[in-house]
């Protein structure tokens, strides 16, 4: 795993372009990321490499933090500065700080957000942006998102600077559009920088081409910000089970191991308690051997069944 900086701006690279740069730097094809940034947006991309790509679903619920600029008075086809202007309004000239504060307050917490027409959401098996590019009308269903933080940083109409922390799947372009609608003047997202993904901060990120192959799990004291990080960081929220040598071999071959005496605190092994019927339901558990992550298993009754194996034999 690596933390990299994606450049932004009108000619900014796509997230896929950044992944390709990391592929070349590491000399490996199996590289992915934990959440796309639009080409014009800058900031933090969390890169996963090799078998660690299988762990991406366990970080899907991580929140993300941003700093951005909403430009009032103009709506665009893409809900951001890269789109064609659709409508303009002079109403933003009379908008004051109090109005903006009240508008932002309506979007704090959970709300139903309609994704942009130019988005990767699938419509009848096809990405919405492809339909939109053909000139088709795209009306996407609203989705429940969570805006944990939405702070007004500066109000200088037509521009409104903000800071936000949101759930995975939240579109900041849609948020800008919705704020403009609430203010009655229309708006689009003029600039965006992702500053955090889950526990990671932009300050720790490096250029995509600077990522190096050193294994963070081998000599953690020698690891630099340019080196690959231990993929176990992606599952620190999961209960942990340390395996014996025999269990290690079983897990590497996809075989189940005993659940043992009960799951312990996250990252701390097992605790002695009798599992309730609810705890016997399928749930993920991180399996370790010799201090290294081997797999994520599903807890089913008295067994732990490997579902995602990340270690090599």
Catalytic residue selected from 38, 79, 178, 227: 38
Q: What's the mean per-residue pLDDT of the chain?
A: 88
Q: How far apart are CA 87 and CA 17, in angstroms?
A: 32
State pLDDT tens for residues 224-241: 667 889 999 999 989 999
- Banded pLDDT at 137 (limits 50, 70, 90): confident
Whole-number pLDDT of residue 265: 43
Does the pLDDT value for residue 5 go beyond 60? yes
Domain 64-189 sits in CATH at 3.30.2350.10
Mean pLDDT of 102-113: 97
**Domain 238-309 = CATH 3.40.630.30:** no
| Residue extents of the structural domains in the chain | 2-62+200-231, 64-189, 238-309
Does the pLDDT value for residue 214 go beyond 80? no
Question: Six-digit token pair at 184?
Answer: 């009655």
Q: How far apart are CA 19 and CA 64, in angstroms?
A: 19
Whole-number pLDDT of residue 223: 53
Residue 160: beta bridge partners? 70, 155
Q: How far apart are CA 60 and CA 63, in angstroms?
A: 9
Give catalytic status of residue 38 as yes or no. Answer: yes
Q: Helix axis angle, 172-183 relative to 97-105, nearest 10°?
A: 120
Whole-number pLDDT of residue 271: 36
Mean pLDDT of 60-78: 95
Tokens 């990522």, residue located: 211
State pLDDT tens for residues 263-283: 444 444 443 333 444 444 458
Instruction: Decide whether 64-189 matches 238-309 in CATH topology.
Output: no
The answer for residues whose C-beta is within 8 angstroms of residue 227's C-beta and 6 or more apart is 2, 211, 212, 213, 214, 215, 216
Q: Is 146 helix (H, G, I), strand (E, B) or coil?
A: strand
Please give the full DSSP string across 52-114, using - where no structure is assigned: GGGGGGGGTT--EEEEEEEEETEEETTSBTTSPEEEE-SGGGG--HHHHHHHHHTTSEEEEEP
State pLDDT tens for residues 145-185: 999 999 999 999 999 999 999 999 999 999 999 999 999 99
State pLDDT tens for residues 187-207: 999 999 999 999 999 999 999
Mean pLDDT of 290-298: 94
Mean pLDDT of 60-79: 95
């Amino acid at each position: 795993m690596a933390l990299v900086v994606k450049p932004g701006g009108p000619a900014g690279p796509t997230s896929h372009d950044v992944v390709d740069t990391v592929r070349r730097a590491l000399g490996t094809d199996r590289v992915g990321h934990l959440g796309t940034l639009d080409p014009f947006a800058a900031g933090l991309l969390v890169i996963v490499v090799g078998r660690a790509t299988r762990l991406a679903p366990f970080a899907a619920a991580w929140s993300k933090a941003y700093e951005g600029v909403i430009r009032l008075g103009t709506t665009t086809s893409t809900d951001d500065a890269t789109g064609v202007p659709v409508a303009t309004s002079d109403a933003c000239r009379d908008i004051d700080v109090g109005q903006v504060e009240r508008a932002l307050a309506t979007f704090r917490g959970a709300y139903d957000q309609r994704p942009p027409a130019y988005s990767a959401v699938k419509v009848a098996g096809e990405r919405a942006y492809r339909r939109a590019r053909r000139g088709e009308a795209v009306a996407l269903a609203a989705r429940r998102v969570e805006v944990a933080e939405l702070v007004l940083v500066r109000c200088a109409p037509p521009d409104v600077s903000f800071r936000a922390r949101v759930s995975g799947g939240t579109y900041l372009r849609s948020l800008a559009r919705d704020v403009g609608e609430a203010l009655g003047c229309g708006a689009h997202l003029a600039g965006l920088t992702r500053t955090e993904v889950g526990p990671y901060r932009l300050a720790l990120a490096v250029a995509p081409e600077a990522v190096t192959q050193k294994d963070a799990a081998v000599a953690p004291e020698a690891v630099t910000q340019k080196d690959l990080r231990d993929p176990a960081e992606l599952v620190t929220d999961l209960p942990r089970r340390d395996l014996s040598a025999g269990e290690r071999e079983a897990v590497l071959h996809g075989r189940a191991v005993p659940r043992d005496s009960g799951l312990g605190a996250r990252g701390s092994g097992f605790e002695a308690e009798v599992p309730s019927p609810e705890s016997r339901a399928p749930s993920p558990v991180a399996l370790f051997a010799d201090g290294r992550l081997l797999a994520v298993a599903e807890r089913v009754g008295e067994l732990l069944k490997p579902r995602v194996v990340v270690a090599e034999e």
